Structure 1
Amino acid sequence: MIIAVLGPKGSYTEKAAIKWLAENSSEDNYSIEYCNDIQDVFSSLTSGSVDVGITPVENSIEGSVGVTLDMLLESELSIIGETVVTIEHCLLSKGKKEDIRIILSHPQGLAQCRQFLKDHFKDAELRTTGSTSHAARLATEFSEMAAIASRESAQMYDLNILIPNIQDREQNHTRFLIMTKPGDMSECKRHPCKTSIIVYLDRDRPGALYEILGEFASRNINLSRIESRPSKRALGDYVFYIDFEGHISDEIIKDAIYNIESKVGMLKVLGSYPMYGQIE
């Protein structure tokens, strides 16, 4: 099994991969391919050069990862699992705190530490990178550079932890999706299951979204997440990402999907997969 994650070594996505394997797979013959960014993870999976791709999809502080949502719409892939990783951001550098002039991290890392940066490094230049571990590797080059990354990255790239736990909220978790090429979704090895879909209304009219949600409500299907995302066709035009409890093969789910399809311009099933349990 070849698994594509955000690289280089030490990323939170690598941590998610190892966690998911420990929780869900007996597979011990695997290798990890490190990608430069989220788009590259999807490209590797689409091309068939890897078997599984893992990317972040939402964070408890900063919300959704837009690139992942966009790529789910554009790519023909199936979600087969999810996992949640506790995020502890640290400020890492070769130099001292007073030396820092440039701070690097993934856009989500910078956003999750927005208030900390404003309070302590308001004059520092902020630069985005493809991942937190990429930021850590770059921070090894100059003592005036610092990275927002994990403790594991500090050890991996021989950096000092100048300040630990710098995220703006103590509770910080990121949900990751485990994806593969489209396959059989007739079984779910573990229950309960969750299903993810994308819906495009095609035309805006009063009550359109209400009608869709009513199909779930009338059948007592619990929605765990609903979010709009620009369709990129026109201003004010959106697609909706919906997660709900149940498997696509369940009769009640099939009935709901059948009725929704007649009310929308597009409905895409992303996959049915074991629902992640309680956050540790």
Structure 2
Amino acid sequence: MSKKTLLELRDGIDILDKKIQLLIGDRAQLAVEVAQVKKASDGNSVFYRPEREAQVLHSITKRNDSLLKDKDMAYIFRQIMSACLALEQPLSIAYLGPEGTFTQEAALKNFGHSVSTLDCASIDEIFHQVEKGNAHYGVVPIENSSNGVIGATVDMLYSQNLKICGEVEISIQHQLMSANQSQEIKVIYAHSQALDQCQRWLSNHYPNTELKSVASNALAARIVKDEVSAAAIASEAALSLYGLERIAKNIEDKAGNVTRFLILGKEDIPVSGEDKTSLLVVTKCESGALFDLLEPFKQQNINMIQLAKHPMPGVKWGYLFLIDIEGHKDDKKVKLALAEVTSRVLKVNVLGSYPVAVL
């Protein structure tokens, strides 16, 4: 069998592209019909279903036997699903701005690019925008593999009533940039966490340079766009977005630095099959209180993914525990464990059960 010519191969690709385009169009039509059925049965229907999307993406990766990596195949379908969902209900997503932050990157990774994003100046504002209905969902950082739990997010989870409906992880790679890399750098702007994550590199390369903490790395990039002799630590996206020049690449002290983000909404999420549940627990101030908290999960053979101690807002020397466990709050074993824990502690707040991150 003779090999195909380049022209024949390109013609074959064109034919397949037309078929793919028609099939995507058929999928979009079905999505519209789904929306019509939902609206006819319930005017307050929820169109974004993270448990359904997680199931679809899991199925896509499991049946993928192509040359494409599982993650790449899932990403393609993530964008198709995003475009189809926009036909059902255009979504607005609140994130920690300005444009070009890792939080915006997390929002787009989770929801796809067919959503509108609302940049917020603080984590508190993200919660408030979702609570007031100005955004359908919010995206907030919850923990970093180098720095641990994000205190501002835990404080808001404790004081607000929003539900966690999803999670997404972003690989964090910091770039040093400025408007003109030939100029001497006298000050470096960045978020406080970015300064911490690049501390050793900065002390080796810029030991005498002033470091200034700002609300976000993207804000740092926006500042140095118009400031002489200033540099910013920010993302690859911010580098191109603000038209800056790279001074140094991937300056984080630890390779494999990852930040986990939470998706916030108002509704409970049904079982997806691969779920996680997050809790805030206030224990009694007595001997054995931590053992009393942990024992029920051990008895039910439930894996505890995270246990983080955090100061209780407004209570001197008071603490709460942020806990992540495997399973959904409606699972029998989880129900039994939570009931027992509730009887042993002062307070249990189930923040939400949600699908484990696929992408």
TM-score (normalizing by structure 1): 0.92
Q: Identify the residue that residue 135 of structure 1 maps to in structure 2.
A: 220
In the TM superposition, residue 235 of structure 1 has moved relative to its aligned partner by 4.2
Amino acid of the structure 1 residue aligned with 2:143: E
Residue 227 (structure 1) aligned with residue 312 (structure 2)? no
Whether contact under 8 Å (1:195, 1:270) holds in the other structure is yes
Partner Cα distance (1:114, 1:97) in 2? 23
* Among candidates 102, 105, 109, match of residue 187 of structure 2: 102
In the TM superposition, residue 33 of structure 1 has moved relative to its aligned partner by 0.4
Q: Identify the residue that residue 244 of structure 1 maps to in structure 2.
A: 325
Q: Gapped runs of 5+ residues in structure 2? A: 1-90
Q: Gapped runs of 5+ residues in structure 1? A: 23-27
Whether contact under 8 Å (1:154, 1:161) holds in the other structure is yes
Residue 16 (structure 1) aligned with residue 106 (structure 2)? yes
Partner Cα distance (1:122, 1:82) in 2? 37
Partner Cα distance (2:296, 2:349) in 1? 16
User: Secondary structure, in 3 states, of the residue corresponding to 2:130?
Assistant: helix
Amino acid of the structure 2 residue aligned with 1:194: K
User: Secondary structure, in 3 states, of the residue corresponding to 1:99?
Assistant: coil
Residue 72 (structure 1) aligned with residue 157 (structure 2)? yes
Q: Identify the residue that residue 135 of structure 2 maps to in structure 1.
A: 50
In the TM superposition, residue 252 of structure 1 has moved relative to its aligned partner by 1.1
Largest Rg, 1 or 2: 2
Residue 170 (structure 1) aligned with residue 255 (structure 2)? yes
Partner Cα distance (2:179, 2:314) in 1? 46
* Among candidates 179, 183, 198, match of residue 280 of structure 2: 198
Whether contact under 8 Å (1:37, 1:131) holds in the other structure is no
Whether contact under 8 Å (2:268, 2:352) holds in the other structure is no
Whether contact under 8 Å (2:172, 2:257) holds in the other structure is yes
Range moving further from structure 2, 92-101 or 54-63: 92-101
Residue 117 (structure 1) aligned with residue 207 (structure 2)? no
Partner Cα distance (2:174, 2:138) in 1? 23
Q: Residues 195-223 of structure 1: CA distance to partner in whole angstroms, max 9, x if unpaired?
A: 0000011x311111111100000110000
Q: Identify the residue that residue 268 of structure 2 maps to in structure 1.
A: 184
Pairs aligned (count): 269
Q: 1:92 to 1:7 in 2, by over 3 A?
A: same
User: Secondary structure, in 3 states, of the residue corresponding to 2:344?
Assistant: coil
In the TM superposition, residue 29 of structure 1 has moved relative to its aligned partner by 5.0
- RMSD between aligned alpha carbons? 1.5
User: Secondary structure, in 3 states, of the residue corresponding to 2:204?
Assistant: helix
Partner Cα distance (1:142, 1:170) in 2? 30
Decide which structure has greater helix share: 2
Q: Residues 135-182 of structure 1: CA distance to partner in whole angstroms, max 9, x if unpaired?
A: 10011121211110011111010101100000001111110100112x
Amino acid of the structure 2 residue aligned with 1:66: G
Amino acid of the structure 1 residue aligned with 2:100: G
Residue 153 (structure 1) aligned with residue 243 (structure 2)? no
Q: Identify the residue that residue 14 of structure 2 maps to in structure 1.
A: none
TM-score (normalizing by structure 2): 0.72
* Among candidates 33, 50, 56, match of residue 118 of structure 2: 33
Q: 1:249 to 1:160 in 2, by over 3 A?
A: same
Whether contact under 8 Å (1:96, 1:143) holds in the other structure is no
